[in-house]
C-alpha cells in the first residue's frame, strides 16, 4: 500500500528523473514528476509519465516459480524451496563435474546496486568464477575503457548542472531528444534562453536532435575517429588549444599531435562523407567556446572501434583544457538507470567491486579479504557475447539470467537461440512472461519490480538515489537480493545471511571507504531524509561532489590525464560489398524502452512508432525499386528481417536503420533487428558492433 506520497526514481533511462508516487481513489498508483528533484525539476518524458500503467498492470507478471525436471518435461509450478534447492543442486553438480567456469550469471543495468553487488559477491567471491556479465556490456563498456585510459578510472567528470553553464555542445552518436528526453529539454531551454549557445550533432541520421542543431555532421557510420582527429588538427593549427593545461596536466600529447597531423582535413572530410568546411566550422565553434561539453551514447560505444572512438573524442576535451571546470567536460549518456551503479560494484566480467581491477593481484587480495574468502580467481570471466558463445559450444553448461532479455537484445539472435537450446540448465529471473528469454528457461523465478522492493541506483552524473518499496509484489514474486541470497545459502555459502537490503548497502558502502568512489558517509537515512547525492561522499556531513578533477589531479599514476592515440583510424568492421552493399545501423525510438516488456504494455506509447520500419534514403530506395510503405526484406549474413520501408532523407545514402526493440513474442521473429547484426566486438571493451552490419534490401 502506497502511503500518501513517496519519492522515487524513474526505472528507465540513465537520466534518473525524480518521481512522486501517490494512489488515486481506486487505490491505483499514479505518478508525477518531482518538482524538487535536481535532475528533472518536475518534468517527465512519455515513458516516465506512463510508469503507473506498468506498476498497476500485473496481467503479464510471473507469479510463482516454474520448473521442468528435464528438457523433455513441461514447465510446472513449484514452491520456492523446490526451485532454489534444484538450482543449488544443479549448480553444485555442474561445478563439481566441469569446474566453476562452466556456470555464469548474466544480469542487468536495470538491477539495483544491492542486487548487482550480491550477484557479483556470489559469483566472484564464492562460486569461484568471474563469469558474471551484464547487458551494460552492450551499452557502456567502451566508455568505461575510454575513461580509464584517459582519466585513470571510470569516472564521469561532470553534472547535468554543467549544461546550463556551457556554451558549446558536441552531441555525437546519440539522440537525446528521443533517448534522454529530459536532459535534452534542459539543453533546449538553455539554448532558448541563450541563443549564442551552439549545438553540433554528429550522426549518420538526421534525428530530432540533429534537427535542433546549429551544425549537423552527417558522417558515414564508423568514421568518427577520423572526424574527431580532424577537429583536433584544426584546433591545433588555429592555435585554439590550451597549452598550459596540456603541458601541466596531460601526458601523451606529442604522439597525439603526430597522429592528428597525419591526415589532412580535406582527406578526413572525404572519408567521413562530409564537407571540409563543416569540420573546420565545428572545430572553430569548439575552440572559441568558454564551456565545451561532449555528449555521446551508443553510436560511439557499440562499435568494433568503440574504444578508439571514445579516446579520440575525450582527446578533444583535453586539447582544449575543457575538463574540471564549470560547464565543461566529457559526458557519456548512460542508457540504463543503474548502469553506473553496476560498474561501481564490479558488475562486469573483468571488473571487481569498488572500481578495483581484476588483473591487479593486490586488488584481488583486498576484495577476497573483505568478503572473507581465500582468493578471487584471476582469470577474467566471459563477457556477454562470449558467455553465449560458450553455451553454444558447450564450454558453459548453466546460465542464470536476471532482469534482462538477451533473446531480443544481443547481436545475431539466431546464434543466441542455438546457445540457449544447447545450455544444460537455464534460470530466468524476471518480472514478465513477455520476455522472449523466459521461453528457454528450465527454471523461472518471479522477481519483484519497480516500487515492489527497495535499493539504490546511480544515474549518468554519479547521482545515487534511494528507491523505496511501496507496494507488494504480486503472487510469490520476491526481490532479486532475496533470491540471490537464498540461493547462496542453499549452496552452503556463508556471508549471505542479511537481515535487510540496507545491510547489503552498508556492506558495499564500507567497501568503498578510501576509494575514488567513496560513499562511506552516505547511508539509507541520509538518502531518505536529504535526497540524492553525487559520489564521492567521503566525509561526515559531505554534500556530494558535483564535479571531478577541479584540482586538475587525475586518477592515473602520473596524476595527469592521458592523450591516447587511436590504435587504428579505420573502422575494422566488415565492409559493404557487391552482395551486401548497405550499412545497417540500429537504435532506439522515442516511446519504447529496450525489449518492450514494460513500455510495450502501454497503448499510448505505441502510437508514435507503432511497428518497426526500415528507414532508407530515397536514392537507395530508387536503386532497389522500393517505395514508401512497401514490405521489404533485409538480408544479411546472419539472417533476415521483413518490415515496411520508410523512405526518408533523414538517413544518409548507403545506410539503413532499424529500431532494436521488437522481439518474437511481441510481433514475429522477422521484426527482430538483431536477426541481422554481426558478431564483431571491440577487441578491448568487448562491446558488440550494433551500428555497422552490411546488408542488402529488396522489395518483398
User: What are the residues binding ligand SF4 (CB under 6 A)?
Assistant: 10, 12-13, 15-17, 40, 44-45, 47-48, 180-182
In the complex, minimum distance from the CB of residue 639 to ligand SF4, in angstroms, rounded to a whole number: 30
Cβ-proximal residue to ligand SF4, closest one:
48
CA distance 219 to 273: 6
Q: What are phi and psi of 61, to 5 degrees?
A: -70, 145
C-alpha cell at 52: 503507473
Q: Where are the alpha helices (H) located in 238-381, listed in sequence order?
A: 243-249, 253-260, 265-272, 276-288, 298-301, 306-319, 339-344, 361-371
Contact present, 354 and 575 (Cβ < 8 Å): no
Per-residue exposure over 126-157, b if at least 16 CB sit within 10 Å of its own CB, e if not: bbbbbbbbbbbbbbbbbbbbbbbbbbbbbbbb
Residue with cell 531551454: 189
Q: Toward ligand SF4, which CB reaches closer, 33 or 688?
A: 33
Q: Toward ligand SF4, which CB reaches closer, 179 or 438?
A: 179
Q: Toward ligand SF4, which CB reaches closer, 181 or 341?
A: 181
In the complex, minimum distance from the CB of residue 176 to ligand SF4, in angstroms, rounded to a whole number: 9
What's the Cα-to-Cα distance from 170 to each of 50, 155, 310, 569, 679, rounded to whole Å? 31, 19, 13, 20, 29
Between CA 341 and CA 351, with CA 347 as vertex, the angle to 5 degrees is 115
In the complex, minimum distance from the CB of residue 43 to ligand SF4, in angstroms, rounded to a whole number: 8
Q: Toward ligand SF4, which CB reaches closer, 608 or 699?
A: 608
In the complex, minimum distance from the CB of residue 463 to ligand SF4, in angstroms, rounded to a whole number: 11
The SS3 call for residue 678 is coil
In the complex, minimum distance from the CB of residue 26 to ligand SF4, in angstroms, rounded to a whole number: 24
Q: Toward ligand SF4, which CB reaches closer, 37 or 453?
A: 37
In the complex, minimum distance from the CB of residue 645 to ligand SF4, in angstroms, rounded to a whole number: 29
Strand partners, 168: 198, 292
What's the Cα-to-Cα distance from 269 to each of 296, 301, 439, 498, rounded to whole Å? 21, 22, 48, 59
In the complex, minimum distance from the CB of residue 89 to ligand SF4, in angstroms, rounded to a whole number: 40
In the complex, minimum distance from the CB of residue 47 to ligand SF4, in angstroms, rounded to a whole number: 4
Contact present, 340 and 332 (Cβ < 8 Å): no
Q: Toward ligand SF4, which CB reaches closer, 136 or 571?
A: 136
In the complex, minimum distance from the CB of residue 526 to ligand SF4, in angstroms, rounded to a whole number: 22
CA distance 384 to 687: 9
Closest CA to 22 of 31, 34, 33: 31
Q: Toward ligand SF4, which CB reaches closer, 48 or 273?
A: 48
Residue spans of beta strands (DSSP E) within 390-462: 398-402, 425-430, 443-446, 455-458
Q: Toward ligand SF4, which CB reaches closer, 13 or 83?
A: 13
Q: Toward ligand SF4, which CB reaches closer, 47 or 121?
A: 47
In the complex, minimum distance from the CB of residue 19 to ligand SF4, in angstroms, rounded to a whole number: 8
CB neighbours of residue 567 within 10 Å: 14
In the complex, minimum distance from the CB of residue 33 to ligand SF4, in angstroms, rounded to a whole number: 8
What's the Cα-to-Cα distance from 263 to each of 164, 222, 230, 257, 621, rounded to whole Å? 35, 16, 7, 11, 34
Q: Toward ligand SF4, which CB reaches closer, 34 or 480?
A: 34
In the complex, minimum distance from the CB of residue 38 to ligand SF4, in angstroms, rounded to a whole number: 13
Chain centroid offset of residue 318 CA: 24
CA distance 270 to 267: 5
Contact present, 429 and 483 (Cβ < 8 Å): yes
Closest CA to 263 of 300, 237, 243: 237
Amino acid at each position: 500500500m502506497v502511503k500518501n506520497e513517496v519519492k522515487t526514481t524513474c526505472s528507465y533511462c540513465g537520466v534518473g528523473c525524480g518521481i512522486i508516487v501517490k494512489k488515486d481513489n481506486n487505490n491505483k498508483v499514479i505518478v508525477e514528476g518531482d518538482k524538487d528533484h535536481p535532475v528533472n525539476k518536475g518534468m517527465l518524458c512519455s515513458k516516465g509519465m506512463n510508469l503507473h500503467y506498468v506498476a498497476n498492470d500485473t496481467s503479464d507478471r510471473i507469479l510463482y516459480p516454474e520448473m521442468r525436471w528435464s528438457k523433455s518435461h513441461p514447465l510446472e509450478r513449484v514452491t520456492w524451496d523446490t526451485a532454489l534447492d534444484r538450482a543449488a543442486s544443479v549448480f553444485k553438480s555442474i561445478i563439481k563435474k566441469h569446474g566453476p567456469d562452466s556456470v555464469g550469471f548474466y544480469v542487468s543495468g536495470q538491477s539495483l546496486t544491492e542486487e548487482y553487488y550480491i550477484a557479483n559477491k556470489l559469483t566472484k567471491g564464492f562460486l569461484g568464477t568471474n563469469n558474471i556479465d551484464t547487458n551494460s556490456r552492450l551499452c557502456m563498456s567502451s566508455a568505461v575503457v575510454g575513461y580509464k585510459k584517459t582519466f585513470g578510472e571510470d569516472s564521469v567528470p561532470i553534472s547535468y548542472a554543467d549544461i546550463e553553464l556551457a556554451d558549446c555542445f558536441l552531441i555525437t552518436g546519440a539522440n537525446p531528444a528521443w533517448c534522454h528526453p529530459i536532459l535534452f529539454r534542459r539543453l533546449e531551454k538553455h539554448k532558448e534562453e541563450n541563443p549564442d549557445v551552439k549545438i553540433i550533432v554528429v550522426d549518420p541520421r538526421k534525428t530530432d536532435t540533429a534537427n535542433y542543431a546549429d551544425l549537423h555532421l552527417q558522417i558515414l557510420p564508423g568514421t568518427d575517429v577520423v572526424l574527431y582527429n580532424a577537429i583536433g588538427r584544426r584546433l591545433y593549427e588555429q592555435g585554439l588549444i590550451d597549452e598550459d593545461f596540456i603541458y601541466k596536466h596531460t601526458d601523451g600529447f606529442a604522439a597525439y599531435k603526430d597522429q592528428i597531423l597525419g591526415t589532412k582535413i580535406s582527406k578526413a572530410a572525404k572519408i567521413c562523407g562530409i564537407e571540409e568546411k563543416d569540420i573546420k566550422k565545428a572545430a572553430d565553434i569548439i575552440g572559441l567556446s568558454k564551456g565545451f561539453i561532449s555528449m555521446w551514447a551508443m553510436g560511439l560505444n557499440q562499435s568494433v572501434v568503440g574504444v578508439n572512438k571514445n579516446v579520440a573524442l575525450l582527446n578533444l576535451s583535453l586539447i582544449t583544457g575543457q575538463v574540471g571546470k564549470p560547464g565543461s567536460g566529457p559526458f557519456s549518456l548512460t542508457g540504463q538507470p543503474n548502469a553506473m551503479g553496476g560498474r561501481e560494484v564490479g558488475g562486469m566480467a573483468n571488473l571487481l567491486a569498488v572500481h578495483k581491477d581484476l588483473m591487479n593481484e593486490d586488488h584481488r587480495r583486498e576484495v577476497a579479504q573483505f568478503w572473507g574468502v581465500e582468493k578471487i580467481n584471476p582469470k577474467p570471466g566471459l563477457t556477454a557475447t562470449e558467455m553465449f558463445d560458450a553455451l553454444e559450444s558447450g564450454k558453459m553448461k548453466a546460465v542464470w539470467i536476471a532482469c534482462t532479455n538477451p533473446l531480443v537484445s544481443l547481436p545475431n539472435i539466431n546464434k543466441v537461440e542455438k546457445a540457449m537450446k544447447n545450455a544444460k540448465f537455464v534460470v530466468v529471473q524476471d518480472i514478465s512472461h513477455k520476455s522472449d528469454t523466459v521461453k528457454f528457461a528450465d527454471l523461472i523465478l518471479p522477481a519483484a519490480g519497480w516500487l515492489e522492493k527497495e535499493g539504490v541506483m546511480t544515474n549518468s552524473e554519479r547521482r545515487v538515489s534511494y528507491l523505496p518499496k511501496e507496494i507488494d509484489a504480486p503472487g510469490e514474486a520476491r526481490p532479486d537480493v532475496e533470491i540471490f541470497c537464498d540461493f547462496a545459502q542453499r549452496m552452503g555459502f556463508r556471508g549471505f545471511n542479511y537481515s535487510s537490503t540496507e545491510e547489503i548497502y552498508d556492506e558495499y558502502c564500507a567497501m568503498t571507504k578510501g576509494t575514488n568512489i567513496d560513499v562511506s558517509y552516505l547511508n539509507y537515512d541520509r538518502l531518505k531524509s536529504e535526497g540524492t547525492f553525487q559520489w564521492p561522499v567521503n566525509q561526515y556531513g559531505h554534500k556530494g561532489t558535483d564535479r571531478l578533477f577541479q584540482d586538475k589531479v587525475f586518477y592515473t599514476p602520473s596524476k595527469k590525464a592521458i592523450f591516447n592515440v587511436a590504435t587504428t583510424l579505420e573502422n575494422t568492421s566488415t565492409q559493404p560489398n557487391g552482395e551486401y552493399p548497405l550499412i545497417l545501423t540500429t537504435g532506439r525510438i522515442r516511446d519504447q524502452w529496450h525489449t518492450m516488456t514494460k513500455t510495450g504494455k502501454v497503448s499510448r506509447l505505441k502510437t508514435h512508432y507503432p511497428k518497426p520500419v526500415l528507414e532508407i534514403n530515397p536514392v537507395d530506395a530508387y536503386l532497389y525499386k522500393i517505395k514508401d510503405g512497401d514490405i521489404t526484406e533485409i538480408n544479411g549474413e546472419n539472417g533476415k528481417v521483413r518490415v515496411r520501408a520508410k523512405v526518408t532523407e533523414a538517413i544518409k545514402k548507403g545506410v539503413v536503420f532499424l529500431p532494436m526493440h521488437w522481439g518474437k513474442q511481441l510481433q514475429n521473429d522477422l521484426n527482430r533487428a538483431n536477426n541481422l547484426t554481426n558478431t564483431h566486438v571491440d577487441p578491448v571493451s568487448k562491446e558488440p558492433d550494433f551500428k555497422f552490419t552490411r546488408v542488402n534490401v529488396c522489395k518483398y
